[in-house]
Amino acid sequence: MKILDKATAIKEINPNAEFTISNDSYSELEWLNGTTPISESDIDAKVIDMKANGTTEDKKKASGKQKLLDLGL
């Protein structure tokens, strides 16, 4: 099972974000190379959304599996 943490949420919100984070803590988050900061509340909301609905990768896999099932494969 994929760990649903702040780093994963940041990449879901902005796949091009460059940052470092320690201990999954917003206070230990450093934005790098001009990455526009994302608010802590937006990151936390994304973590909640991922727990309820999965990540973009999870959704793509489920969609692909369903398409194969629809084709009878």
Answer yes or no: pTM beyond 0.85. no
Q: What is the mean pLDDT of residues 15-27?
A: 94
Largest CA distance in the chain: 50
Task: Report residue 29: phi and psi, to 5°.
Answer: -100, 130
Paired strand residues for 30: 20
Task: Check residue 3 and give its pLDDT.
Answer: 59
Q: Which residue has the higher pLDDT, 1 or 60?
A: 60
30 and 1 in contact (C-beta within 8 Å)? no
